[in-house]
Amino acid sequence: MLEINKIRENKKEFITLLKIKNRDFSDLLNNVIAIDDDRKSTQKKLDEILSQANQIAKKIGSLYKNGEVKAADDLKQESLVLKEQSKLLQTNKNQLEQDIQDILIQIPNTPHHSVPQGSSDDDNIVIREKGKIPILNSGAKPHWELTTIYDLIDFELGNKITGAGFPVYTNKGAKLQRALISFFLDKNIAAGYREYLPPHLVNENSGFGTGSLPDKDGQMYHINEDNLYLIPTAEVPVTNFFRNVIVKDFPIKCTSYTPCFRREAGSYGKDVRGLNRLHQFDKVEIVQIEHPEKSYETLESMVNHVSTLLDELELPYKILKLCGGDLSFTSALTYDIEVYSAAQKKWLEVSSISNFETYQSNRLKLRYKDKKGTTHLCHTLNGSALALPRVYAALIENNQTHNGIKIPKVLQPYTGFKIIK
């Protein structure tokens, strides 16, 4: 959520930057400033009346003490009038504050100045590409066929017990999934991240804190009876660890494995075969809380860290800087990483790494104190390290041979086997 003071100070710049997201937010920005003016005026009147009431209360006490009962009673009537006025002003101020909140949650984060113009993923900019595109033998198969041939994943069983988009991993397929999770966590921990295993359900305040609510309300699974939400990513519970916290030391580095749950409403008609789009999937997340002066340096280091995971898995990948039209509601700058899936002959997104600057921390009230003791908002960052389904798909497609599916060397200590036959 944008800060009202920064909107006042940088209104023209914010209007220009938000146009990179292909919408004109000038009316909302002007409206929120006007309402905040009313709030300030109301606050001033309220402070004046409360000050008068306080002075009268002191006089009443003094008059009673001196035996001037009638004069004290007259002032009490005046005090009651002021009390009613203060109640009305307080109610009005509360409503104005709610009106400001209602507008602010409609305004997305301002893009970083380096975010390119564009309306869709076709306008994203390739920063770098690495790895050799594998040339498969004739008769190579996509992962949804390989998983059946080698008894790795049972999509139909998942459909039977739950529905489409809920696969069941079996036999060596389950072990490969577990191997990837352990490998990612071990590498993240070695890079200085602290591991957490958070709840898979969060309350409404947590969803609001990271910006998942109300923006992605329709994409989250909701348990009505308890008003809890299944997490779409570990980012939500992990970042909320630090809600209403004053941070003393930077950086804070967290990593977490969780299953993730997404309704993916509106995805019908897209390529959803196999592992390409699921309602439940596994992901390892990295989250950092950082000082504002260092957050973009940290973002680059996070991108480089995720890249090393793909290097070790020997998967070809490319890194893209997202354009304004493809940038999420809460992000100031995002890099996507895609791997090449040789049998499908397409690039698949496996990670998004973002800097949210103060957008989340303003909702979370996540702050730090400078040397003078003044509080400021922290910057929050997160990324997938990595999302498993498409990594899994590319890995088995790219490593298929006539003799079976070869396992990358780095995973063999985790799987206990070198090839799936």
* H-assigned helices in 105-170: 143-149, 155-161
Q: What is the pTM of this model?
A: 0.93
* H-assigned helices in 105-195: 143-149, 155-161, 171-190
Position 266, amino acid: G
Cα-Cα end-to-end distance for the chain: 51
Taking the CB of residue 394, how many other CB atoms lie within 10 A of it? Answer: 29
% pLDDT > 90, the chain? 89
Reading phi first (left if > 0) and then psi (alpha if -120 to 50, else beta), residue 357 is in left
Which stretches in the chain have pLDDT values below 50? 269
Kindly list the structural domains of the chain, giving each domain's residue range(s) and its CATH number in brackets, ordered by start: 4-104 (1.10.287.40), 121-420 (3.30.930.10)
Whether the CA torsion 37, 43, 46, 48 is positive or negative: it is: negative
CA–CA distance, 385 with 116 (Å, rounded to integer): 25
Residues 339-365 pLDDT 10s:
999 999 999 999 999 999 999 999 999
Residues 199-208 pLDDT 10s:
999 999 999 9
Strand-pairing partners, residue 154, are 168
CA 162 to chain centre: 27
The number of CA neighbours under 13 Å toward the Cβ of 195 is 14
In contact, 111 and 327? CB cutoff 8 Å? yes
pLDDT at 267: 55
pLDDT at 372: 96
In contact, 135 and 345? CB cutoff 8 Å? no
